[in-house]
Amino acid sequence: MEWSVRQGAPAELWQALVREAAARVGEPLDEPRESYLVFVLLRHQRDEQLLARTQALEWLHAQALPGSERSDALRDVGDRCLLIAGLYPGLAERRRVSVDYFIELGRGAYLGVAEAGRSGYATLFERLAGSYRELVRTLRAVRREAAFDLLEPASAARH
C-alpha cells in the first residue's frame, strides 16, 4: 500500500480519499453523492458511540417520531449503517449478522427519508438508496487506503 502524507482541512482530506477510492473501484460518484458521503464522514468522524448503537432499535425508535424528526432519525440510521458496512464490516461478524443486514437496513432508512422528504431532499435520498452498495464499496476502498484496520475504535472490539 502506498502512503502519502496529506495536509488540509478535514473536508478536503475526506473528499480526496473518497474520490480516489471511487476511482479505484471504477465507480466515480457524481457531485451530490460524493458531497453527501464526505458530509457523512465529517459528521461521524468523532462519533464514539457509532459502533455501540443497535441500528435496528434506532430505526424502530425513528418510526415513532413525527415529521422531520423521523426523517432526521432515519437519515442517521442510514448514515451509520453505511459507515458500518463500509468501514467496519467486522462489527457485523461480531454481532453474528451479515454486512447485508446493515446495507438493507440503511437502504430502507434512506428510502424512508425519501418517502417523507421534500422534492429535492427526496430525490437525493432515492439516489443514495439506489446506489447504497456502490457507496459501501467506495467506503471499503477508503478503508483500505486509510488502514482502518489499525484505526478501528477500541469500542468495536467489545461489541
* pLDDT above 90 (res 104): yes
Task: Give the pLDDT band (50/70/90) at residue 4.
Answer: very low
| Long-range pairs, 68-77, Cβ under 8 A, ≥24 | 70/112, 70/116, 71/112, 71/113, 71/116, 71/117, 71/121, 74/109, 74/110, 74/112, 74/113, 74/116, 75/109, 75/110, 75/113, 75/125, 77/105, 77/106, 77/109
Each domain of the chain, given as residue ranges in start order, spans: 10-154
CB-based contact 134:81 (threshold 8 Å): no
State residue 13 phi and psi, 5-degree precision: -65, -45
Percent of the chain at pLDDT > 70 equals: 86
- Give the pTM: 0.83
pLDDT band, residue 140 (cuts 50/70/90): very high
For the ranges 24-38, 76-90, 115-129, 144-158, the lowest mean pLDDT is seen at: 144-158
Which runs of consecutive H residues, i.e. helices, occur in the chain?
10-24, 31-44, 55-63, 67-87, 90-94, 99-116, 119-130, 132-146, 148-151, 154-158
Residue among 130, 129, 145 nearest 25 (CA) = 145
- Residue 149 confidence (pLDDT) above 50: no
pLDDT in tens, 13-58: 889 899 999 999 998 999 999 999 999 999 988 888 877 888 999 9
pLDDT digits (tens, 9 = 90+) for 49-64: 877 888 999 999 999 9
